[in-house]
Structures are given as structure tokens and as C-alpha cells.
Amino acid sequence: MQRRTRLQLGLLLVALPALIALFASTFMSPRFLGIQADETYSPWPAQRLLRGDLPYRDVFTHRPPLDVLGNAAAQALLGEGLTASRLLQLASMIAVGYLLFALLRRWGATLAEAGAGALVPACVCFPFWPLPASHWQALPLACAAVLALESRPLSEDGVSPAGWVLGAGVLAGLTGLVMQPEGAAICLWLAARVWGGAAPRRELALLVAGVAIPLSLCALTLALAGIGGAAFDCLVAFPLLHYKSVFNDVTLWGSAPTTFGFVRESYGAPGVSLFVLAGLLPLAALGLALERLWRDRSRAAAAALAGVVLILGLFFKGRADWMHLMFNLPFLLIAAAQLVLSSERTLLRRAAWAWLGLALLASSWLLALSLARGVTPGQAFEVDAQERARVQRLLATLPPPLRDAPALSLPYGAPLYFYRAAEAPRIDWVCLPSLGYNPPGQREEIARWLEEREVPVVILEWSPLGLGFLREPSPIRDALQAYGSYAKVGGSVILIRKGRGGG
């Protein structure tokens, strides 16, 4: 490697994390997108784990074990706060950037192409959901799995050493132990890739074996801990039977006008530009795959198309809205990049450069506009102080004897429970029966918890999602008959158990 090239590479490896940190931290500011209840969905079970509770048995979550353990490790190192998960998210985005850079270079991209492509997850996808999420935190393992497979040395007959494919499978299995859809997406893409190779039967068997290793070890660990059945109910039965219910049964086309309106109102012209450019990537990946199959009727070309179709099919099977499309885009970026870089057509490369340039320009425009409006990277890590102050304002309204007492918060509980040492229910997110999200047994469990513990305080969100619990028939509505209205604070209404100071 020439000295000039080494210098350029060194500068890129320093610039990448700096740019990713600048973009991601700025977009994580609560002034860019307000704090969402989803952000506490992983940290709260992790906090409970650190305090001695077991996930799935003592606290309900459909997030896999590595997600809970990762957030618990972050809190153990950085303290119990949402700042820990935000720093973990930042580290994940930087790791994704480095791994994508290495992968694109492996496929023959220039330093400039690889550097620009490595910025896409943080600068193009992340702004549409700039919060810590298991979807984002699974990406480093997914990218590492692809890099392991693509780095395998091939002999003259196309056969590669078993360890590389097995290792890719292990990393794909670990991806699923952080977030199930990302694990499924990368497993499907890897399977399509090896099916298009020279030794499909051998490599598919190795890939499946690799995926099975972490999944089997995880299942064994959960069984030995005595929570295997509870974990199956939370991680497998709930997502399959209840996740895509009325609450999550949205469509890409149905959600597009609402999302577009929100982006236009909140992010302005640069956000709209980024929204449109991001939406072109799935079409580009599908078009590239079809174009390659048209020109080259080979098994490898068919496999490339199958990989894109499988990823899109998995997306449409889940919650097919624009936010989840952004979670899906890194996988389509990988598929599109492999097709572009394996083609000898310079037109495709120029088109990819045009898209990359416009997308990063729109993202930079959005960043500059945000900074001009007073959004700064440091605000991303002030979230704990703001949330603690919000919870304290809420609790200060209560009679002093009840401020440290158990409380139920509906429909979202973790934003309250996370900042209190008080006893909390096992389930932190309970929706109205009409939304179909929770199985009936969970509402029955909440009602029993209220009655058996004689919980003195219930906090309802002042919205149809919260106040509906007083109207829609359910065990929770029946249990709430024992409570009286006490106060309204901000966007919440406080109920207190009759005889405990309510009225």
C-alpha cells in the first residue's frame, strides 16, 4: 500500500467515528425527536436483571436475551440511566460504520465509496428513529456475519474452509439473540448467498449449524435457569400470535401520508428529501437484482434476487410502516452494494454515487438546520435529568405517604418504573383490549396485581389510549372501580385507591 493511500485510509478511519458520533448524537437530542416510551422498553428489563429479577419470568419482554444482557452491561458500566443505552447505541452505530467500510472494501469499493457507504445507516436511516433500539443494536453482528462470509478464502473449485461459513452462521444466530427480525433477515440473505455459490449444500449445512450453536446454548441456559417456558412464551409465542395485531397491523402505503406529514412538519425540506431518497433504496435493490438476472441467467444471479425478495418479504410480514422500513434499509443497502460492486457496468456505479451523494447531502442539510435551531449533540445525554424531573413532578402531586408506594402506569409503565425503586408490575406495556396487542391473560394479571397488592396509585395517560381503560370492558376496568380521581398533571391523570387519600 502506497504511503498516500495509507494516509487516506488512516484519515478515513478517524473521520468515520467522528462523523457518525456527530450525526447520531445530534439526531438523538430530545429537541430533534422527543423521548418515546419505546426507549425504556429494553433498559427496564435490564435494570430489573441487575436488581436480581429474571427476565421473562419476573418481567415481561419480547426482546431476546442478548438485548437484555447488552443493556444490563451498559448500565453496570455507566450507571442506571437511559444515557447508558444511548452510549451503547452510539458505539453500535460506529461499529456498523467500520464493518460496512471493511465489507465494501472487500467487494472492491474505493476508499471514498466505502467511506460514503459506511455513513448510510447513521446519516440516512437513523434520523427517522434516532433512539436506542434493538433493531439498530443488532446491526453490528449482522454486518460482521456478512463480512465473515465474504472474507472466506475460496479454492479453485470454489470451496471455502468450513470455519468461515460456520462463524458467519454463529454471528447470524447472535444477531437474532439481539433482535429476532434482524436475525431472520441476515440468515435469509446469507442462505441466499451461499445457495448461489459453488458448494451450496455443504455451505448451507454449515450455515445452519452455525446459527444453531448460539440458539441452542441460549435455550440450554434459559432452561437451566428455570425460565425456558417463560422465555418461549415471551420470545416466540407472543411475537407470532400477538405482535402483528390491530395495534401493529399497519401498512407502508397507509402510514406513508402520516409519516410524510410528520417529516415535512418536523424536519422540513431536508427531511422530506431524505425521506424520498431513503424510500428509493428498496426499489433500487430490487431493480438491480432483476437487472442482473436478466443479463445473467445464473444461479448466483437468482440467489441475489432471492436475497432481496426474502428481506422485503420479511419486512412486509412484520410491521410494514416507514419507521420499520428504515430498520430494514441497512440489509437492502448491503444487497444493493454487492450487486453494484460485482457489476462491470460503470453506469450502475455512477448511479450509486449519485444516490449516496444526494442522500448524504440531504442528511448534512438536516444536520445543519438542526444545529441552527439549537439542537446540539450534548443534549442527547441530558435525557435522564429531564425524565427524572418529569417523574418527580408527577410524584410530588401525591400525598407524601404514597410517593414511594407501588404504582401502575397505563398504557406505558417503564418510563415511570425505570426511575423508581418502588415495586412495579411484571408487564410494562398494556394496551386496550380493542387494540389486540396484549393477550387477555396479561390484563388479568395486571388486575390481580392491583387487587392483591392493594396498589394505591394508578396513573393513566390523558389520551384515548389511557382513559380508554375506564371505558372498555376488561378486568382492568373492573379493578379501577376501587379508585377515585385525584389530580391531572401534564399529560397524565392520577387515580388513588379509595380510602388512601383519593377524592
Instruction: Say if residue 503's pLDDT is above 60.
Output: no
Q: Is 386 helix (H, G, I), strand (E, B) or coil?
A: helix
Q: How many Cα atoms occupy the beta-carbon half-sphere of 479 within 13 Å?
A: 21
Which whole number is the average pLDDT over 38-62? Answer: 95
Query: Cell match 422498553: residue?
Result: 41
Instruction: Say if residue 158's pLDDT is above 80.
Output: no
Helices and strands counted in the chain (H then E): 22, 4
Of 213, 104, 84, whose CA–CA distance to 150 is shortest? Answer: 104
User: Which pLDDT score, from 0 to 100, does residue 247 have?
Assistant: 74
Cβ atoms 384, 47 nearer than 8 A = no
Spatial neighbors of 379 by CB under 8 A, at least 6 apart, are 29, 30, 31
User: Which pLDDT score, from 0 to 100, does residue 319 have?
Assistant: 85
User: Which pLDDT score, from 0 to 100, does residue 157 have?
Assistant: 65
Instruction: Say if residue 234's pLDDT is above 90.
Output: yes
In whole angstroms, give the CA distance from residue 439 to residue 165: 40
pLDDT one-digit tens code per residue, 383-395: 999 999 999 999 9
List the grid coordinates of 124. Answer: 440516512
Instruction: Say if residue 351's pLDDT is above 90.
Output: yes
In whole numbers, what is the pLDDT of the chain averaged over residues? 93
For the chain, what percent of residues have pLDDT higher than 70?
A: 98
Q: Is 477 helix (H, G, I), strand (E, B) or coil?
A: helix
User: Which pLDDT score, from 0 to 100, does residue 215 have?
Assistant: 97
From residue 367, how far is each of 28, 96, 137, 269, 419 by CA, in Å?
Answer: 11, 20, 22, 12, 31
In whole angstroms, give the CA distance from residue 39 to residue 232: 23
Which whole number is the average pLDDT over 221-245? Answer: 91
Among the residue ranges 1-10, 376-385, 466-475, the one predicted with the least confidence is: 1-10
Helices of type H across 55-138: 65-78, 82-106, 111-118, 120, 134-137
pLDDT one-digit tens code per residue, 293-343: 998 888 999 999 999 999 999 998 888 888 899 999 999 999 999 999 998
Map 315-334 to HEC letters. Answer: HHHCCCCHHHHHHHHHHHHH
Instruction: Say if residue 502's pLDDT is above 70.
Output: no
- For 261, other C-beta atoms within 10 Å of its C-beta total 10
Banded model confidence at residue 1, pLDDT cuts 50, 70, 90: low
Which whole number is the average pLDDT over 459-472? Answer: 95
Burial class (CB in 10 A: 0-12, 13-18, 19+), 203: buried
pLDDT one-digit tens code per residue, 418-436: 999 999 999 999 999 998 8
End-to-end C-alpha distance for the chain, whole angstroms: 78
User: Which pLDDT score, from 0 to 100, does residue 10 have?
Assistant: 83
